[in-house]
Amino acid sequence: MSQSELAPLDPAKGVWDEHELTRRKFLEITFWSVTSVVTVGLLGAGSRFIAGNSFEPSTTSWVTLGPVAELTAGEVHRVNYSFKAKDAWRMVEQKGALYTFSDDAGATYTVLDGTCTHLGCIVQWQGGDNNYQCPCHQAVFTREGKVVSGPPPRPLRKLDAKIQDGILMAQI
């Protein structure tokens, strides 16, 4: 804020230094230049720091879902998985829920991520209705994960799956 008019001082106190006042504009420009450079620099560095690794893609990992012998063909099974993963500066047990079923007598399995594509709640398999329902906003998906009704923009995410030594695995 610049204020070119200075109120006169109480004569008992003293006077403004007229000689110094001729440099006022120059010093104001100097002040604002220095302050702007420092502020921009600090805010830039600070923003980069806070962003941190926020934009790094999440790493993929193969997780074990269990022996295929226990996953009866034709039925939809809910399986929980967990694996050790690095979460920022900690090693944690990362957990999640998947749905899986086989339509070819256990030769291959379809694995669906149970995370609703609307806002991320976990959908529930309703055997009686033969569909998945999301408890949050009443979305309904078919057994294969296609949207039947409700707000989700996309079908449930289908994961790569493989059977290794009789164990079903999926890439999350």
Partner 1 sequence: MSKVGRWIDERTGLGGPVRSFLNYAVPGYVHKNALYMLGGLTLIIFALQAFTGILLAFFYDPSTEGAYNSVDFITYTLPLGWLIRGIHHYGASAMVILTALHMLRTYFFSAYKKPREINWLTGVLLLFLTLAFGFTGYLLPWDQKGYWATNVGTRIAGSVPLIGDALMQLMRGGANLGQATLTRFFATHVLLLPATLALLIAVHIFQLRYHGMSPAITEKGKKEGGKFVPFFPYWVVNDAIAGLGMLAILIFLSATQRAPLEFPADPASSNFVPRPEWYFLFYYQMLKYFPGGLEPVATVLIPLFIFGSMVLLPFIDKGEERRPWKKPVTTIAAVFYIVVIVVFTALAL
- Contacts with partner 1 by CB under 8 A lie at 1, 3, 6-7, 9, 13-17, 20-21, 24, 27-28, 30-31, 34-35, 37-38, 42, 45-46, 48-53, 88-90
Strand partners, 132: 125, 141
DSSP H/E element including 29: helix 24-51
CB 58, min distance to partner 1, A: 16
SS3 assignment, position 4? coil
Query: Is the CB of 14 or the CB of 127 nearer to partner 1?
Result: 14
Query: Is the CB of 35 or the CB of 72 nearer to partner 1?
Result: 35
CB 15, min distance to partner 1, A: 6
CB 80, min distance to partner 1, A: 25
Query: Is the CB of 27 or the CB of 119 nearer to partner 1?
Result: 27
Query: Is the CB of 40 or the CB of 73 nearer to partner 1?
Result: 40
- C-alpha 43 chain-centroid distance: 23
**How far from each other are the two terminal CA atoms of the chain, in whole angstroms?**
56
Rounded Cα–Cα distance for residues 43 and 65 (Å): 46
Phi, psi of 129 (to 5 degrees): -90, -10
